[in-house]
Structure 1
Amino acid sequence: MEKNNQITGLLAQNPQGLTRRDFLVTTALVGAGLAVGPLLGVASAEKIENRSGNGLHKGGNTMKTRRLGKLEVSAIGAGCMSISANYGPPADRKQGIKVIRTAYEKGVTFFDTAEVYGPYTNEGLVGEALAPFRDKVVVATKFGFDLVAGGLNSRPEHIRKVVEESLKRLKTDRIDLYYQHRVDPKVPIEDVAGVIKDLIKQGKVLHFGLSEASAKTIRRAHSVHPVSAVQTEYSLMERDPERNGVLKTCDELGIGFVPWGPVGMGYLTGKIDSRTKLDPKTDLRSGFDRFTPVNIKANMPIVDFLKIFAEKKNATPAQISLAWLLAQKPWIVPIPGTRNMDHLNENLGAINVQLTPADLREIETALSKIKVYGGRMGEIYMRDVDQSK
């Protein structure tokens, strides 16, 4: 009955109609949310030098590193999802490969994908793009959806099956970081952690991650096998991890935090306004409350503030948004996603934007007076987010 209700809700938002298989895939994609980002620990003194010239912010990019558990990665990573799916039609494959390889040339060593992106096609793209320098990068992907039957599936036998499929698509013999994409309420998290522990012993997986997990679930999983990173939406517009205990738990347990949607799924770039049209067939955001024309217009004060503040810092709104995340904790690393080379350069330029304590206070004071309109995702999409207490 629950699945039927979800189907009814989705069809209501997609009156053009879907085949059964298209719908099941869409359901999985919707549940997947839209992932983006990674990390943990005290920043390393080591730096990855930019090999491809200057970023948009003055000074060029000198990419620093941070730690996700014992895994060292670039302080800003690359979310690869939007190249293939969920934010519009797929980009040209050659363009996608060029963006990923350029990110590497500019110092990015962390790349985030998932089997559900496409589905499947994004893993294949990432595998091809990173093949020439596979041993010099960290690849993260995710499991947890049944793309044939629909819905969540983290049963041990399913995990063992899909990890082999992801390895083939990624053209690799190990997955550096393997996330459970959504917590499956039908499978004890201890069982999931146990399977990942076995895969780590086999060398097929190197590190364990959770996505959209509650503080309680994180603790339970961590008691079986150390969790390296937790991935959840977090940005200047979406502050739930500060309130629900997830950031606090990561801090206590030494777990890295992976903000997806670090620029508000595009909101905080300053390039979205009430005239923006999102295609309901290819863009998941079209079904999110925050992206209705009414709520976009209502949320413009946030964007307007960022534009004014960014000008004072000789930066862009997106760069301020990313720099703000970097300034929150030394174990937070965003993975903004893009298929656009200019946007890639802009995002990576955030590494050089230094926010002082006074800057952070100014941002906090200003935004505390501005209401955010619309939930982070529609109700139907939030059902797969673990909110157990």
Structure 2
Amino acid sequence: MCLSGFHLDQTTQDGKTREEEGIHVLHRTMELGITHLDTSNVYGPCNEVLVGKAIAGRKLDCLATKSAFKITSAGFGMDGSREYVRSAVGKSLKWLDVKQIDLYYQHWVDRTLPIEDTWKALKEQLQGAKSRTRDAEADVIPTCRGLGIGIVAYSPPGRGLF
């Protein structure tokens, strides 16, 4: 979910900042029982900082974020390299102000290198993370299971709900 950055203007019609409005939306969402939040580093550091502020002191079942999709001076690009994954995880931990991300995954596929390279880089980042069981189609699971990686559907039905 992107509550800041390039998707939205930075102020609302009533003069509130997008951060204030975003934190209010997330607090209300959690009050209503939503316990799985998903963001991305490509939404900008302001979005992960916003999510971090909103979840501070609150219990979630799953905090998810992702990388491999990035904004460069040339526009949007993909980077599934080990170095980028490691850097992106570190930045997300800092911006979210957490010690652990429950689910960290690949936002888009970097077709310039074998997908296994990105998945291995993601697996390296699992140190200390909780293991969770996820179900998916039988033809996808064997590869992911062998690497210890979960699967998340792109743009689940809840997109736009908030």
What interval of TM-score do these two structures reach, taking the shorter chain for normalisation?
Answer: 0.7 to 0.9
Give the counterpart letter for 2:147 in structure 1.
Answer: H
Change (3 A) 1:174 1:84: same
Is 2:42–2:70's contact at 8 Å kept on the other side of the alignment?
Answer: no
SS at the partner of 1:228? Answer: coil
CA distance in 1, matches of 2:131, 2:4: 25
Give the counterpart letter for 2:146 in structure 1.
Answer: V
1:141 shift after superposition? 0.6
Question: Which residue among 21, 37, 47 is the counterpart of 1:122?
Answer: 47
Is 1:177–1:207's contact at 8 Å kept on the other side of the alignment?
Answer: no
CA distance in 2, matches of 1:207, 1:142: 17
Answer yes or no: is 1:159 the counterpart of 2:66: no
Give the counterpart letter for 1:187 in structure 2.
Answer: L
Match of 2:57?
132
Give the counterpart letter for 2:38 in structure 1.
Answer: D
Give the counterpart letter for 1:142 in structure 2.
Answer: K
Matches within 5 A, 1:178-217: 178-200=104-126, 202-203=127-128, 205-206=129-130
CA distance in 1, matches of 2:57, 2:146: 35
Q: What do residues 344-368 of structure 1 show as CA deviations (whole Å, max 9, x unaligned)?
A: xxxxxxxxxxxxxxxxxxxxxxxxx
Is 1:144–1:152's contact at 8 Å kept on the other side of the alignment?
Answer: yes
SS at the partner of 1:159? Answer: helix
Taking only aligned residues, the RMSD between alpha carbons, in angstroms, comes to 2.5
Match of 1:142?
66
Give the counterpart letter for 1:164 in structure 2.
Answer: G
Matches within 5 A, 1:296-315: none
Question: Which residue among 136, 146, 158 is the counterpart of 1:224?
Answer: 146
If each structure's helix is expressed as a fraction of its own residues, which one has the higher value?
1
Q: Which has the larger radius of gyration?
A: 1
Match of 1:368?
none
Matches within 5 A, 1:89-128: 89-90=9-10, 92=17, 93-117=19-43, 119-128=44-53
Change (3 A) 1:139 1:221: same
SS at the partner of 2:152? Answer: strand
Q: What do residues 114-163 of structure 1 show as CA deviations (whole Å, max 9, x unaligned)?
A: 1111x221111000100121x43421111002434551101011101110
1:195 shift after superposition? 1.8
Matches within 5 A, 1:1-389: 80-81=1-2, 83-90=3-10, 92=17, 93-117=19-43, 119-133=44-58, 135-148=59-72, 150-200=76-126, 202-203=127-128, 205-206=129-130, 218=140, 221-233=143-155, 259=156, 262=157, 334-338=158-162
CA distance in 2, matches of 1:120, 1:163: 12
SS at the partner of 1:141? Answer: strand
SS at the partner of 1:151? Answer: strand
Is 2:63–2:101's contact at 8 Å kept on the other side of the alignment?
Answer: yes
1:224 shift after superposition? 3.4
1:191 shift after superposition? 1.7
SS at the partner of 1:124? Answer: helix
**Structure 2: stretches of 5+ with no match in the other structure:** 12-16, 133-137
1:97 shift after superposition? 0.6
Change (3 A) 1:156 1:220: farther
Aligned length: 149
Q: What do residues 202-242 of structure 1 show as CA deviations (whole Å, max 9, x unaligned)?
A: 22x4469xxxxxx97x4574153244232224xxxxxxxxx
Give the counterpart letter for 2:35 in structure 1.
Answer: T
Is 1:189–1:220's contact at 8 Å kept on the other side of the alignment?
Answer: no
CA distance in 1, matches of 2:161, 2:4: 11
